Structure formats: structure tokens, C-alpha cells
A and B are shown apart, each in its own frame.
Chain A
Amino acid sequence: MHDMSGHAAVHHGEPTSFIHKHVFSLDHKVIGKQYYGLALVAVLIGMVLSWLMRIHLGWTNYAIPGLHLLSANGAPGNVMTPEYYLQLMTMHATIMVFFVLTTAPFAAFGNYFLPIQAGAEDMPFPHFNMMSFWVTFTGFLVLVASFFVSDGPTLGGWTQYAPLSALGPVGGPGEGWGVVLWATSIAIFCVGQLLGSLNFITTTLDMRCKGMSLWRLPLSAWGWFITSCMGLTAFAVLMPGCILLILDHVAGTSFFVPSNLVLNDQLQPHSGGSTLLWQHLFWFFGHPEVYIAIVPGMGIVSHVLITNLRRPMLSHRVLVYSMGALGVLSYMVYGHHMFVSGMNPVSSLAFSFPTLVITIPSTIVVLIWLGSLYGAKIRINAASLFALGFISMFISGGVSGFFLAQPSTDIMLHATYFVVGHFHLVMGVAAMFGIFAGTYFWFPKMYGRMMNETLGKIHFWCTFVGAYAIFMPFHYLGLAGNVRRYQAFVADYMQPLIPLHQFITVAALFTGAVQVIFLYNLIHSRFAGQQATDNPWQATSLEWSTPTTPPPHNNFGDTLPEVFHDPYQYGVQGSAGDYVMQTSPEQVNSPHDEA
């Protein structure tokens, strides 16, 4: 398996043509940046969709100028129709979950930095890697294409519950071609992520340089490794699920449609399928997906924090074991999405216990972070602020999980805004904070220029306060019984909640708008930022010891590095100050050695 000397099997010469250098590149760094670019485009679309939804939820009859340009049928007179709201909602969620929260923290940063942190010159299967991106990109195009088919994208939500999703156009607008394109897009996406996961796992296991034992990998690399193991199994279940769904549409099968359904007074020509089968397949993927979105963030945030705490975590290994436990347990808890689905009520209890138990590794991770802050010398910068913000968001989103883990309390909160608040904080906002922390931290290495710190801090403050202003009230709405996925609140008891929705809308518009600061900072710094040194944060891991910044095509020049230390030798008196790089052969008596 691993001979601790690095492999040269992946060697591919530096391309000279524009196409091979920037478009169909085999270089993991370029592929990482491509993934980041895709995520950036996707998040902008997703955010604009959320604005449109929020405006509609606050002021249902408000005519949004120009909306009819997006869809003449969906917004006659610029006022959103009920079905168009659901279509935008479905696209918002699908784009965000798949093409932002999975691609940015995992595929983008992981591609760029996993091989470098492991001390490899590239991934073992560069062609697979290139395919992984372009397949994912194709999946994105297929999804966006559904905006342009006759009755628009699907309205079935990102969960696409059958039989609504499997019946075809009779189910409603977007339930024909919209669903087929959705399922095709996701199936393609799964292929891309499977290829990526294979590469990540092999890079971690087989491509490490001399001296780089598994325990010497930084926590970010561990995050990506654990995530890729999850990706390999989770996407492998969703993909056949999507294929079966497509077959129900185009091949006359009835995997997810039972007999005797009547729509528009017409008995449907299906029989023998199971609606719960889709839910099982979907959530067997769906719950690990939550961790696929957040575990890379945990790794990135730990990595960023350590550098800014100037000390390693209380325990490197406990963090790794906890992240691994989250990964394993994430497969045993998926039934908590189905407590009131008609699944056997005994199963609800069986799924409830592991769901409650998963709070233990999560708590360990948080306590290790908190314990590591103790006695540190925290450097405050945009990256560390977002990393600390991540901890706060993860806690806030995590504690609401207690309610949803129990079937009895879930009766009151299932399908309400409480759930929406919970997953937005713990997986949406927290993961976004991980992406921001990673961006501010690694941008200098990726582009050779520093990002503007002042703008970064303004961006943090506005986003931090804004995100809480948006998502905390979601929990209150849920407690009051406000059902999610409603385009208007016509039930008598929901009408008093509309002012709170309007407050949320204003907060969402503000928080979305301040992202322009980030975008400006990103683009401006790319071209006009202050030149970065090779190691601007005085960090220890391998990405900071590349011969040039950005790293050369083969990452480390002619010879692969040799590693002599654990990844986080901070708080020691080395020749370079309070830290010793992994590549430095000097002896270290670390005050933080693990037993």
C-alpha cells in the first residue's frame, strides 16, 4: 500500500495550451478552483432565489420588478404564482445543498489542498478528477436547464417525495420534465462525487509523502478523507434512487407509485410501488449528506483555528475519532426524518436513540474547540472570526437537534420552520462560515495575494449578525406551528406570524446584499491584493512550504517534501518563532505532545 516515499505514477507534464491549463486541466489545483467557481456561481443563483422567496413570503402580492422575465407563466404581472414559489424553493435548496455545500468545502478546498497537505504532487487519477468536475458541471447545467422547459423546474422540494415526484405532469407544474431533469442532474452529480471521493480516499491512503503518517495529516485533510468515505457510500445509494425515479417517468415503471391513485378524477396507470421506498433511499443518502456538508467545515475550521490560536487542539486524535464517529453514526439516524411518515412507530424509537447519541461526538468536537481556546493567544482576523462564528452557529443549530431527534417532540415540529431554522444554521450557515474561513485563510496560497482584512471583518460582522437575525426567528415560527413550504400563510393561526416573516425578509435582503463586499474583496484581491508571502500566517502544514506561491504545477518542485512532525507544532520555540513547520528537521520538544 503505502511506502512513505510518495508516488510518481500521476506525473503529468505542465500543460502549455490555455484549454489544458484552465479548462480541461488535470491539475488538482485548477480543478479545485473550478469547483470553487462553480460553487460561487451556484451560491449567487441560490441566494437570489432565496431573496425572491423571502420577498414573496413577507409580502405575498408584491410585484417584483422584472420577475416576469424569469418566467412569464410563473410571475404574471411580476407577482409570483403559488407553484412558481415552490419551483424556486426547490431549485434554491437543490442548488445550495448539492452545488454549494457539497462542492465548496469538500470538492473545491479538498481538491486544492488535500494532495498538498498529504505531500503529493497530484491526485492518483487526474483524469477521473477532471471528469469529476466536468460531470458535476454538466449536472449543474442540466438542473438549470429545467428553468427553460415549458412548465419550469420541479416544485417537489429537494426531497422529491414520491408519488408526487413520480407521477408525471398530472402531479402539477414541473412534475414532468422538471423532475426528470432534476433526477438526471442529481444522478450525474452523484457520478461526479463518486469519482472525486475515489480520488480523495486514494490520495489520503496512498499518496502521502515520506514521513507523513496518517496521524500527521492536518485536521482539514482528515475532514476531507472522512467525507469522501461517506460520499462513496451515500451518493452510491442516491444515484440508483434517481435512476428508478427517472424510469417511473420515462419507462412506465412503478417503483415509487402504488395502485389506485386518482388525480384529476383519473385513475393512474401505476401499481405495486412503494412511496416509502423513495424516502428510505433518499434519507439513507440525505442524512450522511448533512455531514458531507459539515465535516469538511469542521476540518477547515479546526485547521484555521489552530493557526490562529498558536496552539494545537487539546487532542488531534479525539477530534479525528469524533469526526469519524459522526460519519459512521450518520448512516444510523436517517429515520428521524420519517418519524411521522407512517413508518413503523417502533422504528422511530430505534432511529431516535442513535440520533440522540450522535450529539455526543458533536459535543466532544465543540468542547475540544472550546477547551483549546483556553489559554491560547487568539489572533483575530477575518479567517479566525469566521471560524469562531462557525462554532457559535454549529452550537445554535446543534441544540435544536435535540427536539427533532425525539419522535414525541417532532410531532409538533416536523415540517415546520423549526426544522428549516435547524438545518440552515447547522448545515447551511455553519458550512458557509467554514467556506468563508477557508477562503480568507487559503486565498493567499491559491492566488498569491492577500485579501483585504478590513473588508473581510466588515463582511463577517454583517453576516454573523444577519444570519442570526434570519434563522433564529425560524425556530419561533416553528414552535408556533408555522408549516414550511407554504407560499402564503392563509391559515388563521399563521396570520399573526406574518410580521415576523417580514422581519426575516428584511434581514435576508440585508445579509444577502453584504455578500457583495465578499465578492468585491475576492475579485479585487485576486488582481490587486497585496502580494502574499509563502507563509503569511506562520503556519506549519505542507501547503505553506511549497517552493512558490501559488504552488508550482507539481506542488513541490523536483523533490517531494519529507515530514518530520505532527501537523501543529505551535507554541514551541523553533528557529522561525513560535512554530515549527512539518518539513523542518529540527528537534522539537512540544509542550502539546499527545500521549
Chain B
Amino acid sequence: MASLTHASSAGPIRRALSRFFENGAAVVGLAILIPILVLTLTYDLWWLHKPNDIDLLAMNQGPSSAHWLGSDGVGRDIMARLLQGGRISLLVATVSMAISTFLGFFIGAIAGFAGRFVDGATMRFVDLAMTLPPVIFLLVLASIVGSGIVPTIFVISLLSWPVLSRMVRARLLELRERDFVVASRGMGAGLWHLLIRHGLPNTIDILVVYATLQVANGILLEAGLSFLGLGVTPPEASWGNMLNAARATHVLENYPWQWMFPGGALVVTVLAINFVGDGLRDAFDPRSELK
């Protein structure tokens, strides 16, 4: 009896967490992701090469004890560039995730709560933004703002919010008719109060899942842009622009370690984040407890 009341008194967040940790794939994802994060964030403390140090005596060398993952065309250490590139890729992905989650929540929430006219106008705009294939939109925006870390973050953020705003709007349209919201409104609550006190806690599951998957998406978009030479520009390393080097046939053919490691890191990280995201989605879905 005691354990029963204990289980039913645990909050929704805690129950979601315990469901998350019962999901094998999600835990594996987390177990891959945490070391990647630790390695990229701390590498300059324990790795002796710097990502932009040029060593002309060690050009295009394969993996060795001095350069574990080999070196590139001007003798820069691939391991250091891989970890620095991971740092940049994760930075771009995380910051753009934060911006697009913010935009997506507020635009979707305002569309859901602020009445039919605002709703119609915003959602038609979202429809329009989703007509164009994302990569085309990405190219058009990139051609306007240029390349570099900040423009890349800007472009990815601007591209990604419509999906989220649509999900938030759908949830809040339903929430708007619920008694506690109607009551709150009747007592004179303003739009801001409704958004923060009622909208935010009731969409937190959508936001967490979106934010997680958006980090993976942001890594892919950054890599795609940098691969085409339109994102993060050299000499700054990113996984995308390290892959860009392989567009030269002699690099692709003769020095596979220069592009296979960043490519592998990219896929492993994205897969791990997707596992975690799927795990969170299942964990936050109350129906999954019935099974």
C-alpha cells in the first residue's frame, strides 16, 4: 500500500524520467553522448596539439602515436581539429536550438492564445515557410547573411522554428478551452501570464523533445552548410568543413582519415541524440504507461 501511494504521488516529470531510464536505446544514446560532450569540452586540457598549429614536417600523415588520427594537408592534427570542430558544431547547434525553441514557442503560443486573426496570419506564414524544401531555404538565407559562425546560427534558427510553433499552437488551441485557463482569463489574466503560467508548463514535453532533436538537426544543417562552403569558414574547424576538404578528389582518395573521422563523429553524435530524443518522446507520452 505504501509503495502504491508513493508511486502515484511521484510527479509527472519524475515518472517520465524513470520511464526514460527504462528505455535501452535512450540510455545507450546518453552513454555515447556524455563522453563526446566531455571530450570536446575538455580536450585542450589533455591533448597536446592545438587545432590550428601547422606542422609542415607532418603533412598528410596517417594515424600514428604522435597524431592519433593523422594530420591534414598543412600538418594540423586531425584529433585536435575533430574535437574543436565538435565544439563548434555543438555550439552552433545548441545556440540555434535555443533561439528557435524560443521563437517557435512564442510564435506558436501567441497564435494559439491571441485570437483568430493573429492565428490565421501566423499559420499561413508558417505554411508558406514550409513549402520550400529546407535546404533551398537554407541556401537562400545563407546567400543573404553570408558565412561564419554567427550567420550560420542565425540561418539555422530562422529555418527551424515553424515546425515547433505548429505543435505548440495545436496544444494551446485545445488548452485554451480548458476550465482553468478560462477561469484564469475571467479573473483578468493577461496574455503574458497565460503564456508563462499555463502555456509553458503544459507544452514543456513538446519543448524538451523538440529541443533535443533540434540539436541533432542543427548539427546536420551546420555540417551541410559548411560542407557546401557556406557555413563555418576555415581556418575555424567544424565537422562540416572538415568534410568539405574531401570534395577534392586527391584528399578523398589518398587521405581517408581526414574525412572519415569527422563523418563518423557526425553520424554517431546525431544517432545518439536521436535515440535520446525518441526516448524522451516516449517517456513524456502518458499513454506509454498504459502498455
Chains A and B form a bound pair = no
